[in-house]
Amino acid sequence: MEAHSSGLNRKRRREGPNGETENDERARKIPRRTSGLKEPAPFADQLEVVTTQYTRVSLDEARLGTPENRPVRVYADGIFDMFHSGHARALMQAKCLFPNTHLIVGVCSDDLTHKLKGFTVMNEDERYDAVSHCRYVDEVVRNAPWTLTPEFLAKHRIDFVAHDDIPYVSAESDDVYKHIKEAGMFAPTQRTEGISTSDIITRIVRDYDVYVRRNLQRGYTAKELNVSFINEKKYHLQERVDKVKQKVRDVEEKSKEFVQKVEEKSIDLIQKWEEKSREFIGNFLQMFGPDGALKHMLKEGKGRMLQAISPRHSPSSSPTREERSPSPVFRLPFFTKTSPPSSPPHYSDAHSISEDEDDTGTAAIVKTADNHSSGKRSR
């Protein structure tokens, strides 16, 4: 067992990020394989009788290993009621005591067990069958004796007896394995803590009402469960009450989930409302605040309105002679003979003449011409 367990882990050396070697322990995978056991262990009374002379194997010879055709025959006995993992572990330890082991398991009958130990949950046939299907068992002895006699040991050609080292008290002896220990044939095993037939029965007795109600639900009758009429009605009433309680619990859980969802949604709505309110307040202040956009718009509108309704201011002083634009020179067409311009004259903005000024100038020229002609006539 030690060699097998030590082979499950292996170390590998690998280079780390800095080039340093590191030890890496990883569990080695166990290869898949199918067990060779396909049938339960046979019963001793069904096997052929061996007539050859029997010679016991010493402890040193057994530890070194015996020939394949001569395994070390180890015997382990018990009641094995409600066969559990503690029983299986004890048989595994007995099987692995020596390299080459043939494990024989003796199971006591109901009569002997009820007389010397007490009532069992499983009957003897069920206990025989349960042990025969354990993978570590090679042979099963039915109706095993309470105390091992030399004749029984010789009949089954037993080399060693495996059992836990705690003294097993009986009505006839303080330790039924005392003579086996004195003969040097005892091989101790370790008990598995936390599990035993008595512990399992204690759990059932402690939760008796629960198991009775469960089996009543599954269709067992009160007579089969040895339950009275009153207790049967009591269990049915308890079952109904429990169903109502379960429904109330379900409603409470659903209501809690609903309230939790409402709270989550309300929190989300409050957060969204706060975000929207902050955004609204910020936009309002940007528009209507003391330095908001509306104030600037009103200032600009007021300035434009004042500019539109206020008259233009007259100049404080009249322009000088040099600043005035020169008056245009007009010539009558009948005093000078000039060819008409090919294109109309182009006047700048400073020398442009308005229509009123043109009419006034033309009238003055006509009046001067009339005066000039009248003067000639008077001469």
Domain range for 103 is 59-195
Q: Cα–chain-centroid distance for residue 270? A: 30
User: b/e string for 221-242 if b means 16 or more Cβ within 10 A?
Assistant: ebeeeebeeeebeebeeeeeee
Whole-angstrom distance, CA of residue 325 vs CA of residue 323? 6
Give the span between the Cα atoms of 74 and 76, in whole angstroms: 7
Query: Taking the CB of residue 302, how many other CB atoms lie within 10 A of it?
Result: 10
- Domains of the chain: total: 1
The answer to whether the CB of 110 falls within 8 A of the CB of 139 is no
Q: pLDDT tens for the chain, 379 residues: list them.
A: 333 433 334 444 444 444 444 455 556 776 766 666 788 999 998 898 888 888 899 999 999 988 988 999 999 999 999 999 999 999 999 999 999 999 999 999 999 999 988 899 999 999 999 999 999 999 999 999 999 999 999 999 999 999 998 888 776 678 889 999 999 999 999 999 889 999 999 999 999 888 888 888 888 898 888 888 898 888 888 888 888 988 998 998 889 888 988 888 888 888 888 888 888 888 887 777 777 777 777 777 777 777 777 766 655 665 555 555 555 554 555 445 555 555 555 444 444 444 444 445 545 554 555 555 554 444 4
124 within 8 A of 81, measured Cβ to Cβ: no
Q: Is residue 344 part of a domain?
A: no
Report helix angle 229-288 to 293-309, nearest 10: 30
Distance CA(332)–CA(364), nearest Å, equals: 12
* 153 belongs to a structural domain: yes
* Residue 293 in domain: no
Alpha carbons 51 and 255: distance in angstroms, whole number: 79
Model pLDDT, residue 149: 93
Which residues touch 10 (CB under 8 Å, ≥6 apart)?
Answer: 25, 26, 28
Asked if the structure places residue 114 within a domain, the reply is: yes
- The vertex-189 CA angle with 110 and 136, nearest 5°, equals 65
Give the dihedral of Cα atoms 191, 194, 197, 203; nearest 10 deg: 170
In a domain, 113, yes or no: yes
Q: How far apart are CA 113 and CA 27, in angstroms?
A: 45
C-beta atoms surrounding 97 within 10 Å: 20
DSSP of 264-332: HHHHHHHHHHHHHHHHHHHHHHHHHSTTSHHHHHHHHHHHHHHHHHSPPPPPSS---TTTSPPPPP---
SS3 of residue 14 by DSSP: strand
Residue 29 in domain: no
C-beta separation of 192 from 93 below 8 A: no
Which residues have CB under 8 Å from 16's CB, separation 6+? 22
**Is residue 98 helix, strand or coil?**
coil
**What per-residue confidence (pLDDT) applies to 285?**
76
Which pLDDT value is given to residue 282? Answer: 81
Q: Considering the domain boundaries, does residue 52 fall inside one?
A: no
Residue 339 lies in a domain: no
CATH code of the domain containing 118: 3.40.50.620
pLDDT at position 13: 47
